[in-house]
Structure 1
Amino acid sequence: MSSAPIEPATIEHVPSTPPVREPGVVDVEYGWQGNNLVQLLENGEAYFPRVFEAMRQAKSEILLETFIVFEDKVGKELQQVLIDAAQRGVRVTASLDGFGSGELSTEYLAALSQAGVHLQIFDPAPKRLGIRTNWFRRLHRKIVVVDGTIAFIGGINFSADHLADFGPEAKQDYSVEVQGPAVTDIHHFALMQSGRPGRAKYWWQRRRQRRSELAFSEHDGQVRLVYRDNGDHRTDIEEVYRLALRSAQRRVVIANAYFFPGYRLLREIRNAARRGVDVRLILQGQPDLLVAKLAARMTYDYLLKSGVQIHEYCERPLHGKVALVDEDWSTVGSSNLDPLSLSMNLEANVLIRDRAFNRELFERLDILSKHHCKAMSPDKAPRGRVWHMTVGFLVFHFLRHFPAWAGWLPAHKPRLKRFTHSGSETP
């Protein structure tokens, strides 16, 4: 099997009706939708059976966006499920990131394309001297919508390292299943990102959210889609975090894999703790990237001295991107709290107002922090050697300013391109 799958000759531009735009550049801000059923899915053991079953039951349409697909047992099952759906007449559109899924073989992709799957690669690029060149502004969202009636969104990729039997490197992560009116917005969003015609939202239909609308509600089952793009919604996810923290009265729990936010978000976390809010962070103690741990630890003194509790999850790599505030508000999605997610990548989260969901998420995270984490304290927080601190300081400030610096340089605009096998017809 070929190990250099995505060659320029196998990529064609998506037809220009509607016009091809960078995924995420959609001038729509989605509102709160009530009367939804939301189910928390923890790790691949809960996520993969539910999403594959929904795909197997699909009657008309499957929309999929993901950062990573690996050619392992999970990736192969995904491939077969999508092929089966396409062959029974379901319209299947799969959008994969050209960096995260860049190791997929030509044979794997061609099998999907030949079966009728509308397969699209976000910003594919060949390696230069064996090194990938398309590092930044990734399609980092993880969204699945089936028949416009059921949606999945979160941080879980289609790879076996989200299953416990993968071993010590298996990731701890979360996703949600949504059924109800909010699926209409998620479906519309996914359609627009895929380059497919969707129900147009004209300027008088675009629901701009006032800050007062972010105040907590006594009504359960409310869901709102928020996303970050490189157009009109560059700071939406960061802003909802800041507003939620500012409104917190009793408790805040944030579990996030890559944690080095900017000063404004750090201040809101600190200020909440200073007001007497019980603020708890669950961060990586066994990271898959050492620089992420070094950078995160640069924030420890600042936060711990203000009363923020910091717990490092040490059993396996933490990959989650979830948070809750008080007993009502929660968020689950793809966005880390780092410069790449907050300033460059294409991300999507759902906000959830539901007391039962909030309670379940809190109970899961409470078990994690109390029984599987190491608590940091101001006098015992690891500082490491002088060179570790120096490297961490430089990494933290470099990453914090990198998006602004990158904006000074000439940059290409990533595009969503269709994969077509030379032996198959273009859909």
Structure 2
Amino acid sequence: MNRPWVDGNSVQLLINGEDYYPRVFAAIANAQEEVLLETFILFDDKVGQELQQVLIEAAQRGVRVEVVVDGYGTADLPQPFISAMTEVGISFHVFDPQPRLIGMRTNLFRRLHRKIVVVDGEQAFIGGINYSADHLGDYGPMAKQDYAVEVTGPVVAQLHASSRRLLAPVLEPPSQVRPVREPTGKVSAVLVERDNQRQRNAIEEQYLLAFRSARKRLVVANAYFFPGYRLLRELRNAARRGVQVTLILQGQPDMRWVRALSRLLYNYLLRDGVTIYEYCQRPLHGKVALVDDEWSTVGSSNLDPLSLAFNLEANLLIRDRAFNQHLYEHLSELGAQHCKPVTLERMVHGYWWRAPLIFMCFHIIRRFPVIAGWFPAHRQTLQSLQPDAEVDGNLHEGKT
């Protein structure tokens, strides 16, 4: 990671769509010059429609609005939804659109999984929350538990530069906004990204450094947990040297195979003192962690092969005691009130026949990125949609 930590920031934790959407929509409503927005998923539901409306109103005020969605995560937006935005001057781009095969999406790997918003170069949002109603509590028992942060201060320049780089092939003319660099708080922060070029292991390396430095406590709340051996070893080693290591993982998953894979690792971690909770109130979609009293991270990266080896991801690393403590108190409450502890006795039961299966599955999945790399990779491009286009894998011609 080449970026420096920068001081003088203000960072606010946003929990679920109830916190996140009002803050993002208010920031866009107050935009004067530019809105850069990246997301994996944008649905045509009440959340997507509210986002669409504030973006349209911003464009009508003369604000430059650039929206990037992923061609896999956002595959079914109807043409009228997109046209309503492009007709007022919003630039709408799709990352790596691919045609369907027998009605199925084919572009599973190397996705744009980042969720970033930068407004006027002075306010930013980053985390794991998409634009869909399933991030709201009134969605029902399958509403997602998720996190993001609102950021002001000098680190916003790093997020702005990152979004500009992603948009560079289609950003015409280039952004003229100069990010504000004046201090707004006392938080130290840095943006860390994962891409498929020069920063293939950047997020994983930062997790490894943080885990190795842990001396007191280490808490990870992650939706899709199947890391490689290096991360597993550092979690185990931290617990062995007396660190209180706690994992909060999915107990009510949106995809059942996710919990099945994670459980293959439980015995390895539990026998060395790692505490594991399964969050059972709703599907866990968060990607947050903290170490000791200062270090925290909030972002889009899961700890699984897709995020760590394929997708474009972005996390904010934070050094601040108050933020760390706030996140710790929230996760502790989550663990105490809405989680089920996983015991070693439960995992050891039947282990004699599961051990060969665990060994085989772990090593196959661990090498999955290498195996997938044997196959030709599609080009990762941005395609700019015209007013009559729709996101269905068969897009009208646009800039790439």
Say whether the fold is shared (TM-score over 0.5): yes
What secondary structure does 2:249 align onto?
A: strand
Query: CA offset at residue 399 of structure 1?
Result: 2.7
What secondary structure does 2:347 align onto?
A: coil
CA distance in 1, matches of 2:44, 2:358: 34
Query: CA offset at residue 383 of structure 1?
Result: 6.6
Change (3 A) 1:297 1:57: same
Q: Which moved more, 1:374-383 or 1:330-339?
A: 374-383
Change (3 A) 1:383 1:96: farther
The aligned amino acid for 1:75 is G
Name 2:28's counterpart in structure 1.
55
The aligned amino acid for 2:331 is L
Query: CA offset at residue 422 of structure 1?
Result: 4.4
Q: Which moved more, 1:182-191 or 1:320-329?
A: 182-191
* Counterpart selection for 1:238 from 204, 223, 240: 204
Name 1:257's counterpart in structure 2.
223
Deviations for 1:343-366, whole angstroms, at most 9, x for unmatched residues? Answer: 000000000001100010000000
Query: CA offset at residue 398 of structure 1?
Result: 3.2
Matches within 5 A, 1:87-236: 87-195=60-168, 196=171, 197=174, 220-236=186-202
Matches within 5 A, 1:222-371: 222-371=188-337
Deviations for 1:165-184, whole angstroms, at most 9, x for unmatched residues? Answer: 00000000000000001001
Indicate conservation of the 8 Å contact 1:226/1:351, yes or no: yes
CA distance in 2, matches of 1:302, 1:309: 12
CA distance in 2, matches of 1:337, 1:382: 24
CA distance in 2, matches of 1:425, 1:415: 13
CA RMSD of aligned residues (A): 2.2
Indicate conservation of the 8 Å contact 2:267/2:348, yes or no: no
CA distance in 1, matches of 2:397, 2:55: 18
What secondary structure does 2:237 align onto?
A: helix
Indicate conservation of the 8 Å contact 2:385/2:397, yes or no: no
Change (3 A) 1:425 1:373: closer
Indicate conservation of the 8 Å contact 2:10/2:186, yes or no: no
Query: CA offset at residue 381 of structure 1?
Result: 3.1
CA distance in 1, matches of 2:255, 2:309: 19
The aligned amino acid for 1:234 is R
Query: CA offset at residue 406 of structure 1?
Result: 1.2
CA distance in 1, matches of 2:337, 2:18: 20
The aligned amino acid for 1:372 is H
Change (3 A) 1:96 1:291: same
Name 1:210's counterpart in structure 2.
none
Change (3 A) 1:270 1:283: same
Name 2:179's counterpart in structure 1.
none
Q: Which moved more, 1:404-413 or 1:259-268?
A: 404-413
Change (3 A) 1:181 1:298: same
CA distance in 2, matches of 1:426, 1:134: 19
Query: CA offset at residue 29 of structure 1?
Result: 2.9
Change (3 A) 1:258 1:106: same
CA distance in 2, matches of 1:98, 1:383: 43
Matches within 5 A, 1:57-96: 57-96=30-69
Query: CA offset at residue 290 of structure 1?
Result: 1.4
Q: Percent same amino acid at aligned positions?
A: 57
The aligned amino acid for 2:21 is F
What secondary structure does 2:327 align onto?
A: helix
CA distance in 1, matches of 2:28, 2:348: 46
Task: Structure 2 unaligned segments of length 5 or more: list them.
Answer: 177-184, 390-395
- Length, aligned pairs only: 382
Matches within 5 A, 1:13-24: none
Name 1:9's counterpart in structure 2.
none
CA distance in 1, matches of 2:239, 2:377: 40
Q: Which moved more, 1:392-401 or 1:112-121?
A: 392-401
* Counterpart selection for 1:420 from 367, 372, 386: 386
Change (3 A) 1:53 1:229: same
In the TM superposition, structure 1's runs of 4+ consecutive aligned residues that sit over 6 Å from their partners are 382-392, 423-427
Indicate conservation of the 8 Å contact 1:291/1:392, yes or no: no
Query: CA offset at residue 384 of structure 1?
Result: 7.8
Change (3 A) 1:128 1:149: same
Change (3 A) 1:371 1:116: same
What secondary structure does 1:323 align onto?
A: strand
Indicate conservation of the 8 Å contact 1:259/1:337, yes or no: yes
Q: Which moved more, 1:312-321 or 1:414-423?
A: 414-423
Change (3 A) 1:145 1:276: same
Query: CA offset at residue 158 of structure 1?
Result: 0.4
Name 2:393's counterpart in structure 1.
none
